[in-house]
A and B are shown apart, each in its own frame.
Chain A
């Protein structure tokens, strides 16, 4: 039997950090994710690299930010010369398995992994109701048959709670009564409106064009539908979102129950995370594609149900900023593989083991190609690059001359991000400091030109809309 641990990476889709009962949320029950928390270390300052499926997943797979992977939105394309986690682990002697959602366009998961289950067609967005239980079946088949001779890396990509998107699409062309009108729930059953339902409209141009204006770039039809919602509809959205999470928690529970009965449970490291969060009414937004906390802050738990992998138990780490780019180097570290020098992420293994280690002072997040955020202990800084006059298809940055509007929030005084401080002169130094951090981080990134026509067309189209808004509205 190998000395190296098995590694099980369980991920959910569109799962906000606070939607876990062990973290104090009393409107849902997640006993199985709670079990992972009790047997491991959770990170409260955990951020995705980019709040949309394909982009965030490209960072998991490579340890790079999305400016580097080439997958800066769902239609992106992973650069062919970047190795992925499956290739690297397999080359080191691990058996590497994938099950469920992958969604890293440009890379065939079946070439990098042995696939336990990947659907009739490549599993993409939506369809948890069909695919998640099938994924659990595939994992049950695997766990009850694996001989344990070689260490394995298995990643399970559950789709829920992403089906909340289908719930939203369902409202596009019909009016669905709120649950009180339906008579199926009482007001007491529903979570309250988010604290930050009302918001500061001084947002970046990118955010307005993508998510606020008439004919916005992303999900215009849903926005039109929710304009007619009453307060109970918004609360029902959250109630429904939590049911999707309970559903996937139950799937995770079956996997953990089976794992516990295997001979290799004690030496299996479990990492749990999500690609991005869900706005669920905060700032009157739905889904993701934005840089507010609900969209970018995700669970990250490192756990072991046995005692042969050294992880701090029942611990909430509130100190270290963790990013989606950290999955790849962390897995390499546990697998005793040298972390590629190009990797932007850092191994969190020393932190989980309670050791001192040098660490980053802020989280860096990208969004919708031009959007950027830096999160420090004191402030959240959100900005954007202006689109180029002539697009060269090299992801923007670092270039202070091209930065656009700014949102600045105080983490201590305004955790719900309701008051943009950017226009107050006394915060100019804070903004300068955050901007320097942004540019410093970006100066370390290796950007390659986007060469595929599909992504180029998205960038050209979105860039045209942004330029028009800058010219006519600002």
Chain B
């Protein structure tokens, strides 16, 4: 724990005299989230089996980021909305919208997962990317699917590639489904002290063959949180912090920290 600002090392990115102050912004976002979560109006028109969470993206370091139209005293570089709805009783449909003003990409991901603990990726999916930079690349569409339940294939325009042959001993999920997976399996891995292995299709395009999820520790400040880690082949450790309401409140990776702003609906 950093004594000067009470942040856990895994999401403490205060750097010297940097302005705006990372810790102050992160703590303020968390407190706004807690205040908002007691607002019943947010859920009054929402049916069961629907959930939408919005995260602000904070920059972990002091340089290389682009911010757009930020209010004074804020450093965030974008946001991500993770929306999911139960479908036909045994499937969850996810719509994820990731906006990051630093690299200019606006990404929308649409995918389905089974209603199991690992939110196993199911059927087909697609990715829509729009790029606002001035260069030639302005948009990209990618469609993905399972071929014979053993391969992952992606199609860009008319070109199709095989990106992975699956390990049938491990569940396959997507990074954005982990916002549901980690709360679901948290009690089990916390109690057993054992880590679990999964396969990831990061952002629905990049296959990570073997990733490990385990319990890290529990902290009380700035709010009570249980921490979990995730790492594996091609993946530096990221740290996932789950709050008392079983929502992922903070995700910290090498270059960005996601902080929960709002939860609408009944999260799985």
Q: Which residues of A contact B203 (CB under 8 A)?
A: 133
Q: Which of A116, A176, A261 contacts B137, CB < 8 Å?
A: A116
Chain A proximity mask over B46-72: 1 for CB below 8 Å, otherwise 0 = 000000000000001101111000000
Q: Is A184 an interface residue (CB 8 A)?
A: yes
Among B100, B208, B236, B255, the most chain A Cβ lie within 10 Å of the Cβ of: B236
- Given contacts A138-B135, A250-B208, could you give 11 more A-B pairs where the C-beta distance is less than 8 Å? A120-B132, A130-B255, A134-B131, A138-B131, A141-B137, A174-B12, A182-B216, A243-B233, A243-B234, A258-B159, A260-B161
Q: Which residues of A contact B123 (CB under 8 A)?
A: none
Q: Which residues of A contact B104 (CB under 8 A)?
A: 119-120, 134
Docked-complex contact A118 and B129, CB < 8 angstroms? no
Within the complex, what minimum Cβ distance (angstroms) separates A136 from chain B?
Answer: 8
Docked-complex contact B135 and A167, CB < 8 angstroms? no
Q: Which residues of B contact A187 (CB under 8 A)?
A: none
What residue of chain A has the Cβ atom nearest to residue B68's Cβ?
Answer: A120
Docked-complex contact A126 and B61, CB < 8 angstroms? yes
Q: Is B205 an interface residue (CB 8 A)?
A: yes
A364 to B153, CA, bound (A): 46
Docked-complex contact A169 and B61, CB < 8 angstroms? yes
A169 to B160, CA, bound (A): 40
Q: Is B42 an interface residue (CB 8 A)?
A: no
What residue of chain A has the Cβ atom nearest to residue B10's Cβ?
Answer: A176
A115 to B102, CA, bound (A): 17
Cβ contacts A to B, 14 pairs, < 8 Å: A115-B135, A117-B135, A127-B103, A133-B206, A137-B137, A138-B135, A141-B137, A144-B156, A144-B157, A166-B60, A173-B14, A173-B16, A184-B214, A243-B236
Tally chain A residues at the interface, Cβ within 8 Å. Answer: 60
A133 to B204, CA, bound (A): 12
Tally chain B residues at the interface, Cβ within 8 Å. Answer: 58
A183 to B133, CA, bound (A): 41
Task: From known contacts A134-B131, A138-B136, A172-B15, infer whether A254 and B161 are also in contact, taking CB-CB under 8 Å.
Answer: yes
Q: Is B34 an interface residue (CB 8 A)?
A: no
Q: Which residues of A contact B105 (CB under 8 A)?
A: 134, 137
A184 to B101, CA, bound (A): 32
Docked-complex contact A176 and B236, CB < 8 angstroms? no
Q: Is B222 an interface residue (CB 8 A)?
A: no
For window 209-260 of chain B, which residues contact chain A by CB distance below 8 Å?
Answer: 212, 214-217, 229, 231, 233-237, 253-256
